[in-house]
Amino acid sequence: MPAFSFKGQVRRGPFWRLILDGEKTMTTRKVRKRGGPRVGQTAYLYWKQRVAKTEKPMHHIGDSTIISVKRYPNIRKLLLSLGAKGSLEYIKAEGFDNLGELVEWWTGVESPTYGITEEGILLGYEVMNLLEQSGPVEVIEWAYPLMEEAEP
Q: What does the pLDDT look like over 128-148, one tens digit per residue?
A: 999 999 999 999 999 999 996
pTM of the model: 0.91
Domain residue spans of the chain: 1-73+136-152, 74-135
For residues 64 and 24, the answer to whether their CB atoms sit within 8 Å is no
Quick one: average pLDDT of 88-117?
A: 94
Mean pLDDT for the stretch of residues 76-99: 95
Q: According to the 3-state scheme, what is the secondary structure of 96-133?
A: CCCHHHHHHHHHCCCCCCEEEECCEEEECHHHHHHHHC
Is 136 in a helix, a strand, or coil? Answer: coil
- pLDDT score for 143: 96
Convert 85-119 to b/e letters by CB count within 10 Å (16 or more is b): eebeebbebbbbeebbbbbbbbbebeebebebeee
Residue predicted with more confidence, 118 or 65: 65
Q: What are the tens digits of pLDDT across the range 10-37?
A: 999 999 999 999 999 999 999 988 888 9
What is the fold of 1-73+136-152? 2.30.130
CA atoms within 13 A on the CB side of 12: 20
**Is the Cβ–Cβ distance between 42 and 53 less than 8 Å?**
no
Q: Does 118 score more than 90 pLDDT?
A: no
> How many helices (H) and strands (E) in the chain?
4, 9
Query: What pLDDT sits at residue 13?
Result: 95
